Amino acid sequence: MIVSALVETQSRTLCVRYRGVPMLLALDVGNTNIVVGVFEGENLKTHFRVSTALTRTADEYGQQIISLLKYSGIEQQSIKDVIVSNVVPPLADILRVTARKYFNSETLFIEPGMKVGMNIKYENPREVGADRIVNAVAAIALYGTPVIVVDFGTATTFCYVNEAGDYLGGCIAPGIGISIEALFRAAAKLSRVEVKKPEHLIGRNTVEAMQSGIYYGFVGQVDEIVRRLKKEIKCNPKVIATGGYASLIAGDSETIDEVQPLLTLEGLRLIYNKNRTLPV
């Protein structure tokens, strides 16, 4: 298992360098967090996470993003365009207003009909989450085909792209975070625990027992689903993991080949390049 990451730079000393340089603001909007990245050409200059909140206004999102950009040495005026992968529909209009008001940009949303360079052979392509499409586009560009992408988000998703570059679908399972929360809420004597690899499989107290069950349970889930996918498709695609818990689970996984924590941001950049109408 190999862990890799996109090139990033986070330093306030870059303020002068960034002045006036057109940049792309990419937002991966999930049910729990929004991952924000800034690209200068192919280079990811900075990235950070903010919590997803339906009660937050366009002004609140705008001010928070601007503050974090400033901390990274990137000026508000340097943002040229905004692209968004969004799986929380009520936030679409809020983020559209944020982009117009604070970055003077019309938001490019990942949606059916746009150019992605990939055939989506789903019964109803409109049902495929934007994040799953973006991940697949990035995986094809970085690792070729066939490929399986495992995304550890609010849900854990498994997506398969065949050798011809066609998106065929996959599996959706409850994510690690919501599974833990459900266990905590349903079992009166169990408390929230940190998700980490336990020292021993056999827990000697309740916390250790929960950590063991959660960690090895999800490792086992990933490996079993991937093995069954490979058996069904009768080939051996590379398996790429992304999302918040990817590096943790990949540590003991027998099927994950590589971890790419920022796969979705890279996919957003690639799709932006396919759909932009003006030169950079």
Which CATH number do you get for residue 63?
A: 3.30.420.40
In which residue ranges of the chain is pLDDT below 70?
1-21, 188, 277-280
Rounded to whole angstroms, the Cα distance separating 268 from 142 reads 13
Tokens matching residue 242: 């992304």
> Contact at 8 Å (CB) between 37 and 74?
no
Rounded to whole angstroms, the Cα distance separating 69 from 102 reads 12
Q: Does 273 reside within a domain?
A: no
Could you confirm whether 166 is annotated as catalytic?
A: no
48 and 163 together in one domain: no
4-28 pLDDT, tens digit per residue, is: 544 443 333 333 344 456 899 999 9
191 and 139 together in one domain: yes
148 and 40 together in one domain: no
131 and 256 together in one domain: yes
Question: If you count them, how many residues does the chain have?
Answer: 280
Cα-based distances in Å from 50 to 13, 27, 37, 160: 23, 10, 11, 29
99 and 44 together in one domain: yes
**Which alpha helices (H) appear in the chain, and where do they start and end?**
15-18, 58-71, 92-103, 130-143, 176-186, 206-233, 246-250, 263-275
Domain limits at 95? 2-109
Predicted local distance difference test score (pLDDT) of residue 46? 97
The count of domains in the chain is 2
73-131 pLDDT, tens digit per residue, is: 999 999 999 999 999 999 999 999 999 999 999 999 999 889 999 999 999 999 999 99
128 and 188 together in one domain: yes
Predicted local distance difference test score (pLDDT) of residue 21? 64
Predicted local distance difference test score (pLDDT) of residue 67? 97
Kindly name the residue from 28, 81, 93, 131 that is annotated as catalytic: 131
Rounded to whole angstroms, the Cα distance separating 196 from 106 reads 41
